[in-house]
Structure 1
Amino acid sequence: MEELERAEERLENIRSVEPILGALRTISMGSWKAALRQSDRVQQYEEWLSSILPSLLPLLPVNTPPSGRYLLYSSSSAEREKAQTRVVAALVVGSERGLVGRFNRIIVEKVEAYLAEQIADEVEVELAAMGGRVRRLLQRRGYQLAWSDTLSIAALPSFERAFDLTRRWLTRYEARELDAVDLIYNAYHGMDKYHPTVTRLIPPSLSLKSKAHRDASPRTRSAPIIETDPLSLYTRVVEQQTAIGLYRVLLESASAEHAARYRLLESATQNIERLIEELTLTIQTARQQEITQEMEELAVGAGMLGSQKS
């Protein structure tokens, strides 16, 4: 009897959790698909920005002002590439919420390997983190963070935040306070497939010829009409493309995170369905045994009454 009551209580608890898991799974799938769709839009915008650069280069002045030191064609940029990297800002992108398995732990392992390489090369690293979970893991392992930020739980990463960060990094790069900016995150490779990756955001690595520009024949290419200052426009394109690079990484990390969470919730839902079937069968069997026992007791009791009357 006690075993039956425990099984019924457990079944009731599991059934109360089932709709919550289903809702979380649906939310994760929606966020995952939304991040993928936004990534596609960002890629199209990035390709459009790349198509502008080849047309702007011939219009740029030969001698660039100090404010354009990070531009690709500037002489100081070439000098910076030859110089040894001394100070690097490294941004670690993780998750704000849990239920993602080893998502944050493998990033921290990648950070440890990355820092070991930088220390061996005598490079000073300014470590920062986005995502509460990965921030706590890094702090537990004794890493000092220059700064940290949270990620939105209910929405996709913000392009405005990415643009603000890249503007500040580029300003420090121009002032020679930074030699490079690296991003450490989980690259998305499909359903529950991600890999910790390090990519360099600054100095900007810009393609001077877009795919559309390469594929177009000389007859189909037409020089754009530019009415604004070419240098200002070029600077804006560099800033936008650098910000897009960070934003694309944030979206890719979000895609990997939501896909991992969806996969875990899907497995949990399947386990709950299996447990419900097993507990239902256990309860039915226990009830049948209980009914059988009661019938046997009634039969025995009826026999005893009959023997007493005789």
Structure 2
Amino acid sequence: MSNTIASLNRKLNNAADLKAVVRTMKAMAASNINQYEQAVSASDNYFRTVQLGLAACFHQREFISVSAQPQHKGSGVIAAVVFGSDQGLVGQFNDVIAEFAINTLEALPGRKIIWPVGERIQSRVTGSDVEEGSRFLLPNSTGAITPLIGRILVEIETQREKGNISQVYLFYNCPKTNANYTPMYQRLLPLDASWQESLAAIPWPTHSLPEILNHTEEMLSALVREYLFVSLFRACTESLASENASRLTAMQRAEKNIEELLQSLNQSYHRLRQSSIDEELFDVVSGFEALGGVSHGKPF
């Protein structure tokens, strides 16, 4: 009986320690969500501004044929930048985006290469029919996102100049309400005529139509660089916000399960402890009655 009680006591201590870890992870996820949601909001606003700047260029029809990006002869290979997570305890976060990316890429013609961003997503894409290329580590704060985006852009430009890739897609989880997320993708390159026409179709928000007077090519080139940067930045921040939302949900679920386990263990512990006490009292009473019976049986 004592061994069973000791075992339950150890389980209670382990569950309490695990609950403390879960509460810490939950607090960290809640704190991180705030900074990444702010980054998402800022990147959305800036992305909209860059789009309007490009639309201002392309609203003038004579500039539609202007090449916004140096064209390289590609091999028809598609490079896919897939944002996952470096850490665990995120539920199905990595599985969802990995499956979505692989299924989407398999429907496209030609050879594909995945560039995973995050250690956890790497294991999800390894072993699929899609090849694995360069690997990147996720930042642990909003301040470290910009250097990551810089490395990805350098890799994209290097591979395009070598003619190793011709198209680039972004795959990431986008945060939704109630701590949910949904997988998304965006074609980043090439910046072809259809891309230019889609921007030219964006309605201007005011009645005063824009006009580019001087340095059109320089303006267009600068806006294209910002477009590529903010597209990657936005994908990364939305993925990080979704990751922490998923972790928060997983920790809330784990905390609830641990509390139920603790309640069950406590009930079992107290029940066994009470049974042990009852048995000890029964032994005492039985011994007392036995001694009392012997005493009454002796003549004085």
Which band: TM-score by shorter chain?
0.7 to 0.9
Deviation, 1:289, is: 2.0
Structure 2 residue identity aligned to 1:151: L
Residue in structure 1 matching 2:153, options 156, 166, 172: 166
Structure 2 residue identity aligned to 1:296: F
For residues 166 and 140 of structure 1, what CA distance do their matches in structure 2 show?
A: 26
For residues 63 and 253 of structure 1, what CA distance do their matches in structure 2 show?
A: 33
Q: TM (normalized to structure 1)?
A: 0.80
Q: Which residue of 2 aligns with 1:200?
A: 187
- The verdict on how the C-alpha distance between 1:222 and 1:248 changes in structure 2, with shifts beyond 3 A counting, is closer
- The verdict on how the C-alpha distance between 1:192 and 1:222 changes in structure 2, with shifts beyond 3 A counting, is closer
1:121-132 aligned at under 5 Å gives the runs 121=109, 123-132=110-119
- The verdict on how the C-alpha distance between 1:56 and 1:222 changes in structure 2, with shifts beyond 3 A counting, is closer
CA displacement, residues 136-155 of structure 1 (integer Å, 9 cap, x when unaligned): 22224475322111113x32
CA displacement, residues 51-78 of structure 1 (integer Å, 9 cap, x when unaligned): 33355568999699xxx7334xxxx98x
Deviation, 1:183, is: 1.4
Q: Which residue of 2 aligns with 1:253?
A: 239
- The verdict on how the C-alpha distance between 1:200 and 1:162 changes in structure 2, with shifts beyond 3 A counting, is same
Q: Which residue of 2 aligns with 1:287?
A: 273
Deviation, 1:15, is: 1.1
Deviation, 1:268, is: 0.7
CA contact (8 A) 2:47 2:227 kept: yes
Deviation, 1:86, is: 2.2
The DSSP-based 3-state class of the residue aligned with 1:147 is: coil
The DSSP-based 3-state class of the residue aligned with 1:216 is: coil
CA contact (8 A) 1:181 1:202 kept: yes
Note the aligned Cα RMSD (angstroms). Answer: 3.3
Q: Are 1:117 and 2:107 matched, yes or no?
A: yes
Structure 2 residue identity aligned to 1:124: R
Identity %, equivalent residues: 19
Deviation, 1:225, is: 8.8
For residues 219 and 158 of structure 2, what CA distance do their matches in structure 1 show?
A: 17
- The verdict on how the C-alpha distance between 1:125 and 1:234 changes in structure 2, with shifts beyond 3 A counting, is same
Q: Give unmatched runs, 5+ long, in structure 1.
A: none
For residues 46 and 32 of structure 1, what CA distance do their matches in structure 2 show?
A: 20
- The verdict on how the C-alpha distance between 1:131 and 1:15 changes in structure 2, with shifts beyond 3 A counting, is same
- The verdict on how the C-alpha distance between 1:270 and 1:181 changes in structure 2, with shifts beyond 3 A counting, is same
> How many residues end up aligned between the 2 structures?
289
Q: Which residue of 1 aligns with 2:6?
A: 5
Deviation, 1:114, is: 2.9
Structure 2 residue identity aligned to 1:199: Q
Q: TM (normalized to structure 2)?
A: 0.82
For residues 273 and 40 of structure 2, what CA distance do their matches in structure 1 show?
A: 55
For residues 96 and 63 of structure 1, what CA distance do their matches in structure 2 show?
A: 41
Structure 2 residue identity aligned to 1:70: A
For residues 117 and 153 of structure 2, what CA distance do their matches in structure 1 show?
A: 14
Q: Which residue of 1 aligns with 2:287?
A: 301
CA displacement, residues 261-303 of structure 1 (integer Å, 9 cap, x when unaligned): 1111111111111122222222222222222222221111111
Q: Which residue of 2 aligns with 1:182?
A: 169
Structure 2 residue identity aligned to 1:87: V
CA displacement, residues 192-230 of structure 1 (integer Å, 9 cap, x when unaligned): 52333332111244634766xx23123xx676897xx44
CA displacement, residues 93-117 of structure 1 (integer Å, 9 cap, x when unaligned): 2111111222222333223323422
Q: Which residue of 2 aligns with 1:94?
A: 84
Residue in structure 1 matching 2:135, options 148, 167, 185: 148
Q: Which residue of 1 aligns with 2:67?
A: 69
Q: Which residue of 1 aligns with 2:29?
A: 28
CA contact (8 A) 2:115 2:133 kept: yes
For residues 222 and 192 of structure 1, what CA distance do their matches in structure 2 show?
A: 39
For residues 92 and 163 of structure 2, what CA distance do their matches in structure 1 show?
A: 37
- The verdict on how the C-alpha distance between 1:139 and 1:285 changes in structure 2, with shifts beyond 3 A counting, is same
